[in-house]
Structure 1
Amino acid sequence: MDHAPRPGQPHAGLTAAQRSAYLDRIALPDPGAPSPEALARLQLAHLRAVPFENLSIHLGEPVVLDPDALVAKVVTARRGGFCYELNGLFAELLASLGYRVSLLAARVFDGERPGPPFDHLALRVDLDEPWLVDVGFGRFSRAPLRLDERGGQADAHGTFTFAPIGGHGDLDVLLDGRPQYRLGLRPYELADFAPTCWWQTTSPDSVFTRSTTCSVLTADGGRTTIAGDRLITTTPAGGRTEVPLAADEALAAYRTHFGITLDRLPSPPQPPR
């Protein structure tokens, strides 16, 4: 008998110990029973605690899309990750809490054109209605979004809209009228994202191999980011400060702002010989 989790069905989820450690990681030990309100608490807590970062690529660390490996990185080592890691692991947490979760593929817009398939991983969570949940896109919605809603949905970061596109049920996700990504509604397994994840972590054409980034939502709704050798702070009102960092300052900044302890700074990968 095949016991593999089917798309759209609850995954095997985390062990009780992993779930408890994950909830401690995001400082939300008791999120409550599955509900839209509890889901919103989980998403916001995750965004405030776990940074969006691509440091593994520049530290020579493998990016492994396996729940146990992701728990070891994000929960035990208190690191972050990018979309495949963050949303992939968050799906496991939600499933272990009783949520019905599906993994969706999206194509991130570069200007007016969407990128390749599986360019991004987002989540559908079904309660009394379907919700889009995304903790792996950097600056995005702070709360779940109603997938069936076609009017504007107000968020602290702006107004989100879903616009149907084509004849296959795809949706363009717009923020204040600007397309963010094209979302497909067919569910996938985490392993389906592995080929594109590998490309994103190895190709010189990938935005993630070109520079380093580490960014997290702050308690006041702004963001703290280290991009390359610059510490960038933004406020909810649009204020921005940018400070260059020396090597020792950068290591300290990773510890102070993200709780990430590094023994060396990430550096761009060397081109193949």
Structure 2
Amino acid sequence: MTVTTPASQPQTDVWHVADLDLDAYLARIEQPHARPSAEALHALHEAHVRTIPFENIDPLLERSPVLELGAITGKLVHRRRGGYCYEHGLLFAAALERLGYRVTRCTARVQPHKSGPQTHMNLVVHADGTDFLADVGFGASVLYPMPLRDGAVVDQGGWPHRLLRDGRVWTLEKQTPQGWEPVHAFDETPQRPIDYEVFNHYVATHPHSPFTGRLVAFRLEPGRSRKLIGDQLVVERPDGSSDTTSVAPADLDATLRALDIELTPEELELARARYAGALNPEG
């Protein structure tokens, strides 16, 4: 038996964008229901990054994040939780499509100059006749969308980033004291839901994944980047200055709350145990 899809059915149905509580999402990031435009995309992107944290609590607790949009909405919108790139990217893509934007869901190779994995999710979004890289799920790096144009440079809260094109491949670079450093590389090939399920399984469960053996949480705002990696909380500024603080297990709850991450008592108990174990693997 052959099943046909009506021509009127939008392709985005495979992403179940109707499952998103759009009003709750816009309320969470404190943005209005505005018509699609480059200006509105810029505001939505910044508000999302500044409001919803990047964090790996679920993989740390040996739980694979659920990539169904209803589950993502419950976690990132209705709770004071965050997630990593697939959760952020799928949520933002659905919100943009519900608002009328054209979105392509892509994948990128992290640190391509170091043979990094092709596991990162980013988006290409069309607004006002221009394609933009939208990358709300790349931790403490990208605050604003970037025009998909060879050589384009955007100041990301004090840290300049640029896009370079080589054939079909775009490379996002960050300016450092040592010069421009590649962040990730991608092309505009559309991905499917199953692709992110495969990537998610590796990132959430593989022992070599950077998100399974230690706590990671990032926050980015103009002039300040905060990174909790393992037991080190690092606050960086565009002038190159930074502060590093060691975070003891007893201080974990307060530190996470300062990063806008609130855990349930059960999650906190498990996180403290895993956190302490990661700090003292022999104990």
What TM-score do the two structures reach when normalised by structure 1?
Answer: 0.86
What is residue 56 of structure 2 aligned with on the other side? 54
What displacement does 1:159 show?
A: 3.3
- SS of the residue corresponding to residue 187 of structure 1 reads coil
What displacement does 1:204 show?
A: 1.0
Tell me: CA distance 1:183–1:56, structure 2 relative to 1, closer, same or farther (3 Å): same
Work out the CA distance in 1 between the residues paired with 2:133 and 2:26.
21
What displacement does 1:87 show?
A: 0.8
- Pick one of 180, 184, 204 that aligns with 1:201: 204
Work out the CA distance in 2 between the residues paired with 1:225 and 1:145.
23
Work out the CA distance in 2 between the residues paired with 1:10 and 1:159.
36
Code of the residue aligned with 2:47 in structure 1: it is: A
What is residue 13 of structure 1 aligned with on the other side? 17
What is residue 66 of structure 1 aligned with on the other side? 68
What is residue 126 of structure 2 aligned with on the other side? 126
What displacement does 1:144 show?
A: 0.9
What is residue 213 of structure 2 aligned with on the other side? 210
CA deviations over 1:40-63 (Å, ceiling 9, x no partner): 000100111111111111123331
Q: Which runs of 5+ in 1 are unaligned?
A: none
What displacement does 1:6 show?
A: 3.1
Superposition CA RMSD, Å: 2.5
What is residue 24 of structure 1 aligned with on the other side? 27
What displacement does 1:31 show?
A: 5.0
CA deviations over 1:197-228 (Å, ceiling 9, x no partner): 1011111111111311111123x431233222
Code of the residue aligned with 1:6 in structure 2: it is: Q
Q: Is the 8 A contact 1:58 1:209 kept in 2?
A: yes
What displacement does 1:25 show?
A: 1.4
Q: Is the 8 A contact 1:84 1:121 kept in 2?
A: yes
Work out the CA distance in 2 between the residues paired with 1:31 and 1:238.
38
What is residue 173 of structure 2 aligned with on the other side? 174
What displacement does 1:115 show?
A: 2.5
Q: Percent identity?
A: 31
- Pick one of 237, 240, 255 that aligns with 2:239: 237
Work out the CA distance in 1 between the residues paired with 2:161 and 2:244.
28
Q: Is the 8 A contact 1:251 1:262 kept in 2?
A: no
Work out the CA distance in 2 between the residues paired with 1:106 and 1:32.
29
- SS of the residue corresponding to residue 96 of structure 2 reads helix
CA deviations over 1:152-205 (Å, ceiling 9, x no partner): 41313433333333x5x1222222221111112111123311112101111111
Work out the CA distance in 1 between the residues paired with 2:154 and 2:92.
23
Q: Which moved more, 1:207-216 or 1:128-137?
A: 207-216
Q: Is the 8 A contact 1:124 1:133 kept in 2?
A: yes
Code of the residue aligned with 2:174 in structure 1: it is: L
What is residue 100 of structure 1 aligned with on the other side? 102
Code of the residue aligned with 1:137 in structure 2: it is: F
Work out the CA distance in 2 between the residues paired with 1:161 and 1:10.
32
Work out the CA distance in 1 between the residues paired with 2:10 and 2:206.
31
Work out the CA distance in 1 between the residues paired with 2:94 and 2:140.
22
Code of the residue aligned with 1:181 in structure 2: it is: H
Work out the CA distance in 2 between the residues paired with 1:133 and 1:80.
17
Code of the residue aligned with 2:151 in structure 1: it is: G
Give 1 or 2: higher helix fraction. Answer: 2
Work out the CA distance in 2 between the residues paired with 1:10 and 1:161.
32
- SS of the residue corresponding to residue 17 of structure 2 reads coil
Q: Which runs of 5+ in 2 are unaligned?
A: none
Code of the residue aligned with 1:54 in structure 2: it is: N
What displacement does 1:134 show?
A: 0.3
What displacement does 1:11 show?
A: 5.5
What is residue 153 of structure 1 aligned with on the other side? 153
Tell me: CA distance 1:240–1:255, structure 2 relative to 1, closer, same or farther (3 Å): same
What TM-score do the two structures reach when normalised by structure 2?
Answer: 0.83
- SS of the residue corresponding to residue 65 of structure 1 reads coil
What is residue 185 of structure 1 aligned with on the other side? 188
